[in-house]
Homo-oligomer: A and B are copies of this chain.
Amino acid sequence: MGTGRIRTALKIDREKPAWEQPGLHNRWHPDVPSVSTIAQNEVVKIECIDWTGGQIKNDDSADDIKNVDLTRIHYLSGPFDIESAEPGDVLVVEIQDVQPLQDEPWGFGGIFDRNNGGGFLDEIYPKPAKAIWDFEGIFCSSRHIPGVRFPGLIHPGILGCAPTAEILAEWNRREGELIAANASADRDVAKPPEPKGAHAGAAQESLIEKIAREGARTIPGRPENGGNADIKNLSRGSKIYLPIHVPGAKFSVGDLHFSQGDGEISFCGAIEMAGEITLKFSVLKDGMAKMAMKSPIYIPGPVEPHFGPGRYLTFEGFSVDDQGKQYYLDTTVAYRQTCLRAIEYLRRYGYNDYQLYLLLSSAPVQGHIAGIVDIPNACTTMGIPMDIFDFDVRPEAEVVKRDMGSCAFASS
């Protein structure tokens, strides 16, 4: 009669490291053992650890960011078998709710050291930095970035079903080719399988070794299963349609964000947190063929914060870089310029650039591809809801430089 509690399909243990918990894993591989089976139309709660597995502390130093072990991140809860799921079916996942853990109402955003993670603007902002965000109900604010407060559009950064061995091999092939082609580059262009730090859930012995050797890193999203797509509005009430590749689907979820801006520009830019997600599952038989599906599809939920269109302050960027170099329809270059335009504007209020880089990564900014055909310039826009500031940021308003404190930096 619907009067009972909702079943919790996975509880995490806050006393143990992530890598000792059999319900967590941090590689995509078809052989990671399933945690349990979830019935059709069942609603379950699943606890998730924050994406660094607890490496980041609620303090005022960014030393933890500087030294973060990036082989030990992105621990996912699962995989879960879904009753009756078969390859070629589509898994329908309804996000009924997402919450921080009851007793840990805080999260963090980080700018990684250019030499340990980096980010979208790392040539300009190479230093590590951190902001701690406190949650008060639906709102968050940060002692490291005063003057802003906004409701979170809370969502999982990662969800997806396990790949087959064939899909996994294809990932490793194509990403390997990119790495090979950029062997002399001064930055990582992709992350190959890496046994160090691999966690294979409840796998034992030789299986651990196999998964560690072959398993795909969880950092990029990929077309075949979605994964770390970091889509900021996959929030409460959303419905996601996921391709199923292996029997049982082997669904995993993790990397919860209290809020994120389009692009998640500082890499660890969303407000990262441990939390609990409430999901409902069903299976559309033979759905992949019926829906002509190659990549996940979703319908956002109905409860996004309403910032009317007239409340967005919007910046433009084009595919010409800081040095005046012209690129051909390069949206990535254009979006980088768009971010810089916003930083230059907001800097006038007293923020340092690292605070703003953190803010634009985590606030619900809208990043649009405005025009992508007018050679040679792509045009992108970033719309910032003015209502997140507790002072007036309209162009007409007087600019008063304030003491905005600072985000956390690493000790030098």
Chain A residues close to B by CB (< 8 Å): 1-3, 5-6, 43, 58-60, 90, 92, 95-97, 102-103, 105-106, 119-120, 132, 134, 136-139, 143, 151, 170, 173-175, 177-178, 182, 188-191, 219-223, 226, 228-233, 236-237, 241, 262-267, 269, 278, 280, 284, 287, 290-318, 320, 324-332, 335, 337, 341, 344-345, 347-348, 366-381, 383, 387, 392, 394-395, 399
| A332 engages B96 (CB within 8 Å) | no
Using Cβ atoms and an 8 Å threshold, which residues of chain B touch A92?
395
Q: How far is the CB of A229 from chain B (nearest CB, A)?
A: 5
| A337 engages B305 (CB within 8 Å) | no
Write the chain B residue with the least CB distance to A300: B309
Known: A263-B371, A284-B395. 16 other contacts (CB 8 A): A173-B324, A174-B325, A191-B375, A220-B376, A223-B337, A230-B374, A241-B395, A264-B374, A265-B372, A295-B315, A297-B316, A297-B341, A299-B311, A303-B309, A331-B335, A366-B368
| A297 engages B315 (CB within 8 Å) | yes
Write the chain B residue with the least CB distance to A158: B374
| B381 engages A320 (CB within 8 Å) | no
| A97 engages B325 (CB within 8 Å) | no
Contact of A377 among B102, B221, B318 (CB under 8 A): B221
Using Cβ atoms and an 8 Å threshold, which residues of chain B touch A237?
137-139, 151, 310
| A371 engages B221 (CB within 8 Å) | yes
| B373 engages A265 (CB within 8 Å) | yes
Cα–Cα, bound, A309→B237 (Å): 10
* A296 and B316 contact, Cβ closer than 8 Å, known pairs A301-B310, A332-B332, A375-B191: yes
| A370 engages B229 (CB within 8 Å) | yes
| A371 engages B139 (CB within 8 Å) | no
* A220 and B97 contact, Cβ closer than 8 Å, known pairs A105-B6, A325-B174, A369-B263: no
Using Cβ atoms and an 8 Å threshold, which residues of chain B touch A151?
236-237, 301-303
Using Cβ atoms and an 8 Å threshold, which residues of chain B touch A173?
324
| A332 engages B335 (CB within 8 Å) | no
Using Cβ atoms and an 8 Å threshold, which residues of chain B touch A311?
299, 308, 311, 387
| A375 engages B335 (CB within 8 Å) | no
Using Cβ atoms and an 8 Å threshold, which residues of chain B touch A371?
221, 228-231, 263-264
| B103 engages A373 (CB within 8 Å) | no
Offer 19 A-B interface pairs, CB within 8 angstroms, sorted by A.
A5-B105, A96-B136, A136-B280, A138-B236, A175-B376, A189-B328, A221-B374, A223-B318, A223-B337, A229-B316, A230-B373, A230-B374, A267-B374, A269-B373, A292-B345, A299-B312, A299-B314, A302-B309, A366-B368
Contact of A301 among B132, B188, B309, B332 (CB under 8 A): B309
Contact of A231 among B102, B280, B326, B381 (CB under 8 A): B381
Cα–Cα, bound, A119→B380 (Å): 17
Write the chain B residue with the least CB distance to A346: B292
Using Cβ atoms and an 8 Å threshold, which residues of chain B touch A174?
320, 324-326
Using Cβ atoms and an 8 Å threshold, which residues of chain B touch A337?
223, 295
Using Cβ atoms and an 8 Å threshold, which residues of chain B touch A328?
178, 182, 189-190
Write the chain B residue with the least CB distance to A6: B105
Cα–Cα, bound, A377→B216 (Å): 13
Write the chain B residue with the least CB distance to A348: B292
| B295 engages A302 (CB within 8 Å) | no
Most buried by B among A290, A304, A308: A308
Using Cβ atoms and an 8 Å threshold, which residues of chain B touch A394?
299
Cα–Cα, bound, A119→B370 (Å): 15
Write the chain B residue with the least CB distance to A112: B373
Write the chain B residue with the least CB distance to A378: B332
Cα–Cα, bound, A284→B102 (Å): 31
